[in-house]
Amino acid sequence: MSSTLREQYRGKAILLTGGTGFLGTALIEKILRSLPDLKRLYLLARPSRNKSAEERFREDVFGSAAFAGLREKFGDAFEELVSGKVRVLEGDVYAPSLGLERDALDELSREVDVVVHAAASVIFDSPLDAALNANVRGTLNLLSLAREWERKPLFMHVSTAYVAGISASFVREELPGEISPNGTLLDPQEEIASLEAVIEEVDLASRERSLMRRFDTEARRELGMVGAEDEVAERADQLRRAWMRERLVERGTSRARELGWHDVYTFTKSLAERMVLRERGDLPLIILRPAIIESSFREPYPGWIQGSKMADPLIMAYAKGILREFPGDPESLVDLVPVDHVVNAVLAAAVRRPREPEVFHVASSDRNPLRYRQLYDYVRSYFIKNPLKGSGGRPIVPPEWDFPGRRSVEMRLRAELVGLKVASEVLSRLPEGHMVTDARGRIVRAEKRARMSLYYSRIYGGYATISSTFSTARTQELYETLAPEDKQEFPFDIAAVDWRGWLQGAHLPSITTKPGRRARRRVSEEKPGEVAAIFDVDGTLVGSNVVSYYAWLRMHEMPAAARPLWIAAFLPKIPYYWALDKLSRAHFNRAFYKNYRGWKPARARRLGLESFPGFTLERIYPDALARLREHKEKGHRIVLLSGALDFLLEPFEDVADDVLCARLAEEDGTYTGELSGAPVAGEARARMLASFARKRNVDLSRSYAYADSISDLPMLEAVGNPVAVNPDRRLEAAAEKRGWRIQRWRKNGPAS
């Protein structure tokens, strides 16, 4: 090249998609820092649920750590730099005309010299419909518009080196041919039509009558007695879509592997390449194929990263001791490339206007190979010296791998999951109680570890056995044509990377401490009722329980002389109820509430109202009332969530905004002694609370919950500010382990 990149970009305009992603953010930062004479950078993005596209860039992109250097350099002038150079367009590559007004489209037609299409779904196990939309339809929609633009811009399609599929060959920088990686003749247009038919087939199957009944039943079971009909319908549709998603993941992955690709991501990216070649018209076209993009080598600073990239979940799971073994050939190539190398290659290639489409690989396996065993050794030695800490604060010793085959690892994990499933089924037949809950928790955690390991093996295992080498001859030639000053300003010579130094000095410290993550934004000002204070009643607000209430109600109606006789008859039942409560609060509630069989609702409500001044008031904890007042003053929504019966809690409606409690079923105007829904205990409490929060727009992550029993643990875990009040021994141990607040409320004690 006869002139520098800075000169070649002078007065030009770039349209970038995918600007809110990892690569896109790095590209924007580099353009603003190193291409000061660029006329305009257009950024196309969708709004999110709570932000406009402009707000997404201002807060999420320009507020990230990647721009710290530019902010320091320009100070208050940084905002002026962005305003003068960047124009955010709120649109969508899937929408007709990108969702833009005519004036914006005309401006793009007149001004844009380069389109860099970096938007994509990089989820390896994405549902087929989502992957096809993001990677194929969006690309073609943008291309069809750009093809008609006045300036005939260069169209750069950012793809992936792994479109080569499962191959043991030397992969050249060549355009895709007419066959798939396993040699099957492939017409991309026909393949896309076939995939769309699969999506329609799965959608129709999800609406089959028996399935819809199953989804409705499951939704009602989950939401319990607090689920309104519209909410049940919404949850049932969520279950339908989850069922559909699972099958679209299976069908997409199956078809990809049938044709020789690793997954639906590489499959749909290859389809996009083939369709872009077919539909480009007379637009100049460059396909840029990075390998595994990881944290930066040099810019904006060593180790900058945003989110978790492909290798990072595996590394972190290994460091946490979750991945005790992982399949892979120790001699296979792990093709990593720093994000700033990809950025610089994009900018170096985007000034070209080739007559025929060109392909560039940005990869490392050709000129600076990194073997799987080397990566393992570098990672293991780092975490031996810098171990992560476990829940007890003790260092986690990273496991030593033997590099068994993928089949061996997955067979062991499947066998482990079968054993855990059997254990879980045995526990499901036992009465719900504290011991069963603990055992179930251990099984759930073990199952989660095994499923995570199996998932990683299925999704990433194929990439740990690759023997492909990606040629970078054309990319290196591109680098060599740069002016000397550009080689300094826009370096992407992969041979310059010292893998051990970069991994241990920049990348691993970055993904363990996450310095590149955006600083958490301050929580916006609370709206009234958005934060709730959820109180259990018996044992938390009131020093009593359902047995004491029942005894008071019965004796309140009796002549004084008859009370000793009733007590004498009732006392022998107490040990049975006590033991049943220790075994399972839900079973206790079902058994004890049979005592109300034959009661009239009017009688129960009358006695419930009389119980408040005669029994409840003297047992309410002053500390609890003080805490209620504090939350009221802050505008928090006061919610009572209790397994007690509705007629006993009716007097509390004056101090609470909502009362969620148990109700007895009626038949012919008489209580049957059976509950009208699930007992308000254990997991059911958490489900009811989640349902209530969705319905009332309550933010549980900022809400408070107060409870006293281990049976309330799921409810406490559902909120961001749990408080154990007068906890039993098991809840106290759980609270201490989790670092929760523990408070002692007494009948005559000061608020604490």
Taking every pair of Cα atoms in the chain, the longest distance, rounded to a whole number of angstroms, is 111
Q: Is residue 577 part of a domain?
A: yes
Per-residue tokens: 65: 């750590």
Range with the poorest average pLDDT among 23-27, 146-150, 195-199, 570-574: 570-574
CA distances from 330 to 34, 404, 703 (A): 40, 10, 49
pLDDT at 308: 66
pLDDT at 515: 41
For residue 466, pLDDT over 50 is answered with yes
pLDDT tens digits for 76-126?
A: 899 889 988 999 999 998 888 999 999 999 999 999 999 999 998 888 888
First-residue to last-residue Cα distance in the chain: 74
DSSP 228: -
Q: Is residue 589 part of a domain?
A: yes
Which CATH number characterizes residue 579's domain? Answer: 3.40.50.1000
For residue 363, pLDDT over 90 is answered with yes
Domain count, the chain: 1
> What's the CA gap between 703 and 712, in Å, rounded?
16
For residue 517, pLDDT over 60 is answered with no
The angle at the Cα of 82, spanning 78 to 88, to the nearest 5 degrees, equals 150
pLDDT tens digits for 264-287?
A: 999 999 999 999 999 999 999 999
Q: How many residues does the chain have?
A: 752
For residue 438, pLDDT over 80 is answered with no
Q: Is residue 157 part of a domain?
A: no
For residue 152, pLDDT over 90 is answered with yes
Burial label for 235, CB within 10 Å (0-12, 13-18, 19+), is buried
pLDDT tens digits for 663-709?
A: 888 888 899 988 876 667 777 778 788 888 888 889 998 899 999 98
pLDDT tens digits for 545-568?
A: 888 888 888 888 888 888 888 888
pLDDT tens digits for 225-268?
A: 555 677 788 888 989 999 999 999 999 999 999 999 999 999 99
Q: Which domain, by its residues, includes 588?
A: 532-743
Q: Is residue 405 part of a domain?
A: no
Reduce the DSSP state of residue 277 to 3 states and report it.
helix
- Cis upstream peptide for 431 (omega within 30°): no
> What's the CA gap between 350 and 288, in Å, rounded?
10
pLDDT tier for residue 523 given thresholds of 50, 70 and 90: very low
For residue 594, pLDDT over 70 is answered with yes
Q: Is residue 718 part of a domain?
A: yes
For residue 519, pLDDT over 60 is answered with no
Q: Is residue 675 part of a domain?
A: yes
Q: Is residue 574 part of a domain?
A: yes
Q: Is residue 651 part of a domain?
A: yes
In single-letter form, the type of residue at position 61 comes to: V
pLDDT at 751: 45
Per-residue tokens: 70: 């530019």
Per-residue tokens: 35: 């291409």
Comparing CA positions, the residue from 318, 727, 406 lying closest to residue 539 is 727
pLDDT tens digits for 175-208?
A: 999 999 999 999 999 999 999 999 999 999 999 9
> What's the CA gap between 317 and 315, in Å, rounded?
6
Beta 170-171 vs 469-470: how paired, if at all? parallel
